[in-house]
Amino acid sequence: MSATPPRRVVVTGGAGFVGSWLCEALLDDGASVVCVDNLLTGRQDNVADLLDRPGFEFLQRDICEPLDVPGDVDWVLHLASPASPPHYLAMPIETMRVGSMGTMNALDLAERKAARFVLASTSEVYGDPLLHPQPETYWGNVNPVGPRSVYDESKRFAEALTTAYRTSRGLDTGIVRIFNTYGPRMRLDDGRAIPAFLTQALAGDPITVAGDGSQTRSICFVTDTVAGIRALAAADDAGPVNIGSPYEVSMLELAETVRDLVGTSSEITFVPLPQDDPRVRRPDTARAERLLGWRPVVGPDEGLKRTLEWFRGQLEARRLGHPGG
């Protein structure tokens, strides 16, 4: 682990779901934070409470264009990208551009500042895995021309580009592979399982489960994910390192848990399974535990309750005519 905490950090995608939590945690650690976001899928509401905090700066910029940040920078943490299927499927070119040009511009910034660079990659690089759970040594099973490829391949390219900057230019880099993360500040229209199930259950609508519901995901509360990102940033390891929870649940079980938590009588209905949807997903986190001393601490009961409170408040704000998520 690095003995010197960062004084100033650039977070791309800092107004997004995970990015805003990361900005807040870094400020709490005493760092100054430059939040860069073009607000394509991020929301300024996510960082509204940070705008008046000393050391916080918000730049509405597109990282696909060269970025200059005056002054010293210790870390560049690159999280910018659409991350939910409805968003990256609606914005395929933008997703590929931020994974390629956006990553290169963020790497160039880190190189100019002699900063440590950390790429927020994804469990999607494993595709529909043939090995379970997934260790970092697994190369994945990805369809390069399927509908999900715009996200999967943009992150795989970003990993390769990050590695090239490390090996050919000597840049201090790290790669973290983030597994399914949930929590407050997710958009109401996010489209992933937990936001979809919560909004449907809170409205009393049918809860729609893809396929037969047997496919699994491992869900990790956002504060745990952020702690893992910070731990890798503070280390001197190149990664990749899986950051995710070993708590694996089927989509049908998750829908039933959400229905019980909300206390609704919503029926559970089934819709076609999207093409290339992974059948299983669970990280092997042995490396994160050994290298970073990291493991998730927020259990699913607590995490889902906190997330439910957020969604309930957002839906109430929308009902009253406030912008909300």
Structural domains of the chain in order of their starting residue, each with its CATH number: 8-179+222-244+278-297 (3.40.50.720)
The runs of H, that is alpha helices, within 53-147 are: 85-90, 92-97, 103-113
- Work out the percent of the chain whose per-residue pLDDT is above 70: 98
Looking at residue 36, what is its pLDDT?
98
Q: pTM score, two decimals? A: 0.96
Looking at residue 318, what is its pLDDT?
86
pLDDT band at 1 (very low <50, low <70, confident <90, very high): very low
**Which of left, alpha, beta for 71 (phi over 0: left; psi -120 to 50: alpha)?**
left
Element (H, E) at 229: helix 222-234
- What is the pLDDT averaged over residues 99-106? 98
247 is catalytic: no
- The answer to whether 78 and 103 have CB atoms below 8 angstroms apart is yes
- What is the pLDDT averaged over residues 66-75? 97
- What is the pLDDT averaged over residues 263-273? 95
Looking at residue 255, what is its pLDDT?
97
Looking at residue 144, what is its pLDDT?
96
Q: How far apart are CA 154 and CA 97, in angstroms?
A: 8
Looking at residue 324, what is its pLDDT?
55
Q: Which residue has the higher pLDDT, 139 or 324?
A: 139
- What is the pLDDT averaged over residues 14-22? 98
* Residue range 156-170, pLDDT digits in tens: 999 999 999 999 999
Which sign does the torsion angle of CA 290, 33, 170, 118 carry? positive
Q: Which residue has the higher pLDDT, 318 or 45?
A: 45
| Rg value, the chain, Cα | 19
DSSP 8-state code for residue 306: H
* Residue range 81-99, pLDDT digits in tens: 999 999 999 999 999 999 9
Q: Which residue has the higher pLDDT, 316 or 176?
A: 176
88, 126, 138, 151: the active-site residue: 151
- What is the pLDDT averaged over residues 125-138? 97
Q: Is the pLDDT of residue 194 over 70?
A: yes
Looking at residue 321, what is its pLDDT?
76
Looking at residue 323, what is its pLDDT?
60
Looking at residue 228, what is its pLDDT?
98
pLDDT band at 325 (very low <50, low <70, confident <90, very high): low
Looking at residue 73, what is its pLDDT?
98
How distant, in Å, are the alpha carbons of 25, 44, 149, 184, 276 from that of 50? 11, 10, 34, 16, 38
* Residue range 218-235, pLDDT digits in tens: 999 999 999 999 999 999
